[in-house]
């Protein structure tokens, strides 16, 4: 069965089985925005403590229904149940993190002022925020925008990915059960047309987007002449993991596999390029390839649990296979062939290809379990190769000394830079974002509070007191 958007209905297909999982009517964007505009002032007028307690009630609601939500994520996004459970945990944990971030980054402050005046810094909500969510973390990533926006006093119109609408609908239902008014947080069901209408709608005060660079650039271009509408873009990466001298090859291999193939490579922070010091190459490949062959690809709900489930759909699997073949045709050398493991379903085995001799390596985000390997003579060449991208989200160095890492950290262009850790798995207690085509300098996670409210500086006196001291006629 084929999923997708018609004029009336959106159908979601379970990638692991190819069967219909969910269907629902296409939403009316104008009606949703109008309802949100009518509701947001009342929500913003509530005491901050009330909004926070409602978010804590949301966390408890998700916690009570955690297993059902995890199973829905596993079925609709195709990720193994063990991983879907960690996503639900992240949804719950986001509330306390957002409360702390709001207090730290947007709390009230008293400032110095003269002439018996007082000065203050406070923050106001923007109004109605559009949240556009991705399919790879259909609950956690949009929730990372929604919770801070609601705490700040905004209303939210959330359009989940057309590939994971059931999870989006379930997330919004949890907010409603927790006591958030229905018009304050709404779920808009639809495809690209509904997303474009939401972005361009004059009743939207901000657009919070997670997804591809192509879509993010289109949003940025559409709103370039409207500086009054805040835009926060998280757009993925062509992320490098650089390996230099280390005796711990098994550990290095595990970090590489975690970085490249967790979530079937469908993470914006996944390692796309493995950059290896030439002298270490043979020994590392002799360790990495056998480990990669052992990764289990299977049913997200199966037992024993697989490391990877399918990618999101057959079109995605076809494009990834075409990319693998294109790299071979351009001069790449296969180290581990990517294969379709189940006929007519989007299961892919990990693919690893040496592209050192490919003359013009494509600087694109291949969003799946495909790792490109590049050999370099030394760390400086590795840093130069790592920076050979328009993206700049995540980068890791494996091996080396503290001085090596200091040089790596100082010279790598990325928003997340790690040492002897995977490129993925970033903490929500830190800012999350990148540079170049990876974002527009509005990092999410802990810094989401920054784009969910705007600062207001005030100088205040209980009575008007002023004189003009210069330039007055007697």
Catalytic annotation on 234?
A: yes
| Element containing residue 22 per DSSP (H, E) | strand 20-25
Bridge partners of 370? 351
In the set 76, 162, 268, 452, the catalytic residue is 268
Coil, strand or helix at 339: coil
Supply 340's token pair: 């379709």
Tokens representing residue 336 in the block? 């581990």
Structure tokens at 413: 């262009």
87 is catalytic: no
Give me the numbers of helices (H) and strands (E) for the chain, helices first please. 14, 20
Sheet of 155-159, strands arranged across = 185-187, 155-159, 128-132, 206-210, 230-234
Q: Are the CB atoms for 245 and 399 separated by under 8 Å? A: yes
Which H or E element spans position 318? Answer: helix 314-329
Contacts of 362 (CB under 8 A, 6+ apart): none
CA angle 371, 160, 67 (to 5 degrees): 80
Answer yes or no: are the C-beta atoms of 461 and 467 closer than 8 Å. no
H or E stretch covering 121: strand 118-125
3-state secondary structure of 467: coil
- The backbone torsions φ and ψ at residue 157, rounded to the nearest 5 degrees and listed phi first, read -110, 115
β-strand partners of 384: none
Catalytic residue chosen out of the listed positions 14, 234, 365, 385: 234
95-108 per-residue burial string, b: 16 or more CB within 10 A, e: under 16: bbbbbebbeebbee
Q: What's the residue count for the chain?
A: 474
Positions marked active-site: 234, 268
């Amino acid at each position: 069965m084929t999923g997708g958007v018609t004029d009336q209905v959106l159908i979601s297909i379970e990638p692991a089985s190819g069967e219909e999982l969910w269907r629902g009517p296409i939403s009316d964007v104008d009606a949703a925005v109008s309802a949100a505009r009518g509701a947001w002032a009342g929500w913003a007028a509530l005491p901050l403590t009330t909004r926070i307690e409602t978010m804590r009630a949301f966390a408890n609601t998700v916690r009570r229904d955690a297993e059902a939500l995890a199973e829905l994520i596993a079925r609709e996004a195709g990720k193994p149940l063990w991983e879907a459970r960690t996503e639900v945990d992240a949804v719950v944990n986001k509330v306390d993190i957002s409360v702390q971030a709001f207090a730290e980054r947007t709390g009230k402050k008293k400032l110095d002022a003269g002439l018996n005046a007082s000065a203050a810094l406070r923050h106001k909500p923007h109004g109605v925020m559009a949240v556009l969510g991705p399919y790879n973390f259909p609950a956690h990533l949009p929730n990372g925008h929604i919770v801070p926006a609601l705490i700040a006093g905004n209303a939210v119109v959330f359009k989940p990915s057309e590939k994971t609408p059931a999870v989006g609908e379930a997330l919004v239902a949890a907010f409603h059960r927790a006591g958030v008014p229905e018009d304050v947080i709404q779920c808009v069901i639809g495809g690209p047309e509904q997303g474009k209408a939401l972005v361009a709608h004059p009743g939207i005060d901000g657009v919070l987007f997670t997804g591809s660079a192509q879509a993010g650039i289109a949003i940025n271009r559409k709103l370039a002449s409207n500086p009054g509408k805040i835009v926060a873009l998280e757009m993925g990466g062509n992320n490098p993991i650089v390996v230099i001298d280390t005796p711990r090859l098994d550990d290095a291999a595990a970090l590489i596999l975690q970085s490249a193939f967790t979530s079937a490579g469908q993470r914006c922070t996944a390692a796309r390029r493995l950059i290896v010091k030439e002298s270490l190459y043979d020994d590392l490949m002799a360790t990495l390839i056998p480990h990669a062959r052992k990764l289990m690809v299977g049913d997200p709900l199966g037992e024993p649990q697989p490391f990877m489930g399918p990618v999101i759909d057959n079109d995605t699997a076809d494009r990834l296979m075409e990319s693998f073949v294109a790299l071979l045709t351009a001069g790449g050398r296969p180290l581990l062939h990517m294969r379709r493991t189940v006929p007519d379903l989007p299961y892919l085995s990990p693919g690893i290809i040496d592209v050192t001799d490919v003359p013009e390596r494509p600087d694109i985000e291949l969003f799946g379990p495909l790792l490109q390997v590049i050999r370099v003579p030394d760390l400086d060449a590795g840093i130069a190769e790592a920076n050979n991208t328009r993206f700049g989200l995540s980068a890791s160095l494996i091996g080396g000394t503290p001085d090596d890492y200091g040089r790596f950290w100082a010279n790598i262009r990325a928003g997340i830079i790690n040492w002897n850790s995977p490129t993925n798995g970033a903490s929500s207690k830190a800012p999350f974002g990148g540079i170049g085509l990876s974002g527009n300098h509005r990092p999410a996670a802990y810094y989401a509070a920054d784009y969910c409210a705007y600062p207001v500086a005030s100088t205040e006196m209980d009575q008007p007191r002023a004189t003009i001291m210069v330039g007055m006629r007697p």
